[in-house]
Chains A and B, each alone.
Chain A
Amino acid sequence: MPNYVLNIRRFSPESGEPAHWEKFEVEMEGHRPVLDAILHARNTEDGSIGIRCSCQAAICGSCGVRINGNPALACNTLLRDAVATAKDGATIDIEPMGNMPVIKDLIVDMDAVHWKKVQRVVPWLIPAGEPPEREYVVPHEAMVDVTQTMACIHCGVCVSDCLSMEVDPEFVGPAAHAKAYRFVGDPRDAATETRLRDLAEDPHGLYDCTHCFKCVEVCPKGVSPMNQIMRLRRRATGDFKIKDANNGYRHEKAFVSIIEKWGTLHEAKLLPDSYGEGIFGKLNPEAQKQLIASAPTAVRGVLSGKVPPLKVIHHHKLPDQKKIKDIYKKIHGRDDRIELNLYIVGEDADALAAESAPAEAAATAADGGES
């Protein structure tokens, strides 16, 4: 059986010692999860290793940690996968999640950060008046849609490495925003506009997300918090024309029209255009302030290779402009906005294929259990 080396970040506030790393060797099959290895070390070597865990099935949300620097659940990360991302190719580093204070070893204070933010979004259904005698009649798709955010297990994995939260600890954050969508997307909730206005106008709300994608990438339940934030924004701007403190509404409009014109995102134009197109935008004092403030971000973008330096000053149009125009024509021609939701269409192309195969579609109807 393979031998795995766990390098666990230890911290005991009572000991007076600073946080340090401690190695444990565990013999275990590679398809077993990291949590099993930690528990093995705890059961056989040192019972004082602190980690929250319960279900061992990625459903209770207890065991969020950082594995080799990346936030994940310990119970659904397999040892063989963990070792593949080890910095030295052998030692699995396990540390507490970020953006939250450490209580002991791998246990962080989620109340102080995550749950406070969840509270912030008024996390309960606010229906209009008294409930009906029977159930609320709501579209099938709407329930499937909000179930994606209902699936959040509040593990804090997305919170751990949220870029915006690192910069602005007051940011409402990915999971709490996803929770907000759970109500905004729920046709039974009557406070949609208030909720959207509240989050759009909060400088730490909807428009405080930098689209770093981290939360989408790390969420173990497919909640895609950033996508929920984007959908909240679309509803805020599209359905309620809410103009916000961070100028997000304008930003989005500018974004759309730049793409329409250029076919790709002209980063250097985006900020000034958010304050009004062309020269007026650039002269707007608020825009100037923000332009200056955003300089480090732009520099960082260039350094990390996200934005090629040439692009900042010189922007090419995408060669096939007609295609872009066609897309826009098609979108503008639609009555309803269409939301893409992975939760509905499934994860692989096969699911789509199955959907279109008539024989199987008939079987779905017969087998669906709607009897």
Chain B
Amino acid sequence: MTVGIISKIHPVRSHSNAAQGGINAALNPDDSWESHAYDTVKGSDYLGDQDAIAVMCSEAPEEILHLEHLGVTFHRNEEGLLGTRAFGGASAARTYYVADITGQAILHVLYEQMLKYDDKIDRYEEWFTVALAIDENGRCNGAVMRNIRDGVIELFRAKTVILATGGSGQIYKPTTNALVCTADGQAMAYRAGAALMDMEMIQYHPTTLLGNGLLITEGARGEGAHLYNAAGERFMEKYAPNKLELASRDVVSRAEQTEINEGRGFPDGSVHLDVTVVPKKRIHEALREIVMVGRDFAGIDITKDPIPIRPGQHYIMGGIKTDVDGLTDIPGLYAAGEVACVSVHGGNRLGANSLLDTLIFGKRSGHHAAGVAKSMNMPKISAKQVDDVRDEINAIMARSASDGRRVSEIKAELGETMNDKVAVYRDEEGLNSALEVVKRLQEEAKTAYIDDRGTIFNQDVLGAIELGYMLDIAETIVMGAIERKESRGAQFRTDYPERNDEEWLKHIDIKLKDGTPTIEYSPVTITQWQPQERTY
């Protein structure tokens, strides 16, 4: 058996790099996985599936130790043992970290391991997956790729396929997500008939830099930083008197947005994050990346000046619906990480639970997929799909400026619309108008043109394919938000401001049926934690 890893950018450039704050696990003897699970359930506003959450939280400690053994340079306390920091929505300090480059450190160490097992893993770096290969029985037997280096299109046969393509933040503008987070995996699976779940649940992170939406890690608040409005009030005292700045992300983001909307923000539309209350040595040791972000991207010294911030699009809780082994609706196809929805995050993800999600369910998917692969022969697939992809790409390249708009223009309009209408506060009217825009843009995308007609490193044509992915997924996000007529987690409907467990304690699934997006519901798994009112 062999494994191939395909990535459209060099693996160490993947967006997991951006995870600064850390990774959660109840590893301390005085902590318990049940406590971690309860915090996650509560954070999810009870939309998370409790069986899946139990799997994630109970396997977390072992995973941290595994990473530590592989070489991740986790922060130590004075005794030389793993040390933790506090994070939002958590009842104990259980976030393990590497300064503020936790994601990078983990990603790089996993890449080191990939190099170590070079003889067992084939790496296809800078190969772009365009579509999944589905046979006549609806099984996924591989995928169609374009080698970015030379434009060659190839069909990869596989007994099992795992999608781990990450998030979809580029649907929004601005976003904390990298340019490569373009909903590829979600769209490919959705087009192949897989169900998407919880798509309306889009996380706005409370602290993104005013100018360009760059993230200021929650670790800053974990280290003790405060939030102030223009009147100098530490306004979280009003919204979350117990947890203050460390309440759940949806709660803090809404508090900030309320302050800004009601005129208590700064004239530039921000509130301030004050890190200067954290001792300088600690800032340099634990928030070094943020010092650089402040210096390079905002021109301020965060050890001396407050940081102008606002809530910004950050994470998609929804994704390809899977079970706890990563299996999707499509036989042979698995999904893990931000692309998937198990669902462990429900209506709102806790900080430092996402890396954990990727690692636990990535591993479980891998084990399951390997088990299946060992017991079967290599499937056959027709070459027709390669021709389809080639035709699609040729058609994009054949369009000219007189046919329509530029791909980049459509992408910008999509991002602005979503950030305007499908954000922290939502209502029916705004959502309906967003859906109209998305549908119009889908039409316009069919004739949208690009400039590059080459084969070597044609990033332009990939951009056009990505735009198609994003528009499909944007539609499901807006549809889910319209459908859910209540406020829960990241979905706050000003026209339905209350949580309504009677009618809406359920998942919204969206599936393509005969080319039409169709809504279905599925139950939330509740094991030991009954829904309660959520206060911090």
Contacts and interface: CB of A to CB of B under 8 A. Distances in A.
A binds B: yes
Interface of A: 12-15, 31-33, 42-44, 46-48, 50, 52-62, 76, 78, 103-105, 107, 110-111, 118-119, 123-125, 127, 131, 134-140, 142-144, 146-147, 150-151, 153-154, 183, 186, 188-189, 221, 343-348, 350-351, 353-355, 360-361, 363-364, 367-371
A370 B77 contact: yes
B73 A139 contact: no
Contacts of A183: 71
A124 B73 contact: no
Contact of B293 (A57, A136, A368): A57
B115 A124 contact: yes
B29 to A, nearest CB: 10
Contacts, number: 223
Contact of A350 (B108, B280, B460): B280
Contacts of A13: 456
Given A150-B105, A367-B279, A56 B178 contact: yes
Given A136-B68, A138-B80, A31 B299 contact: yes
B99 A59 contact: no
Contacts of B105: 147, 150
A61 B125 contact: no
Contacts of B13: 52, 54-55, 60-62
Contacts of B131: none
Interface string B399-432: 0000000111100100000000000000000000
Contact of B460 (A48, A76, A124, A150): A48
A139 B76 contact: yes
Nearest to B282: A364
Contacts of B104: 59, 150-151, 153
B98 to A, nearest CB: 6
B115 A119 contact: yes
A147 B99 contact: yes
A371 B93 contact: yes
Contacts of A60: 9, 12-15, 17-18, 178
B201 to A, nearest CB: 24
24 contacts: A12-B456, A14-B454, A44-B408, A46-B451, A76-B292, A124-B71, A124-B112, A125-B70, A125-B71, A125-B109, A127-B69, A136-B69, A139-B76, A143-B98, A151-B99, A344-B285, A354-B279, A354-B280, A361-B279, A361-B281, A367-B224, A369-B84, A369-B86, A369-B286
Given A143-B73, A369-B84, A370-B77, A61 B12 contact: yes
Contacts of A134: 65, 81
A343 B457 contact: no
Contact of A50 (B10, B224, B289, B457): B457
Contact of A62 (B9, B18, B278, B452): B9
A135 B178 contact: no
Given A127-B69, A136-B69, A364 B456 contact: no
A55 B177 CA distance: 7
Contacts of A361: 279, 281
Given A147-B101, A151-B101, A186-B73, A47 B408 contact: yes
Contact of B74 (A46, A57, A104, A143): A143
A61 B178 CA distance: 12
Interface string B114-149: 011000000001000000000000000000000001
A289 B75 CA distance: 49
A142 B85 CA distance: 19
Q: Which of A110, A150, A353 has the most CB of B within 10 A?
A: A150
Nearest to A364: B279
Nearest to B455: A14
B262 interface: no
Nearest to B453: A48
Contact of A48 (B115, B278, B454): B454
A31 B279 CA distance: 28
Contacts of B408: 42-44, 47
Nearest to B214: A57
B450 interface: yes
Given A14-B454, A42-B408, A140-B77, 7 more contacts: A47-B452, A54-B180, A58-B292, A103-B149, A125-B70, A146-B73, A346-B281
Contacts of B179: 53-56
Contacts of B211: 31
A324 to B, nearest CB: 32
B184 to A, nearest CB: 13
Interface in B91-110: 92-93, 98-99, 101, 104-105, 108-109
A131 B65 CA distance: 9
A22 B463 CA distance: 23
B280 A343 contact: no
Nearest to A36: B212
B113 interface: yes
Contacts of A146: 73
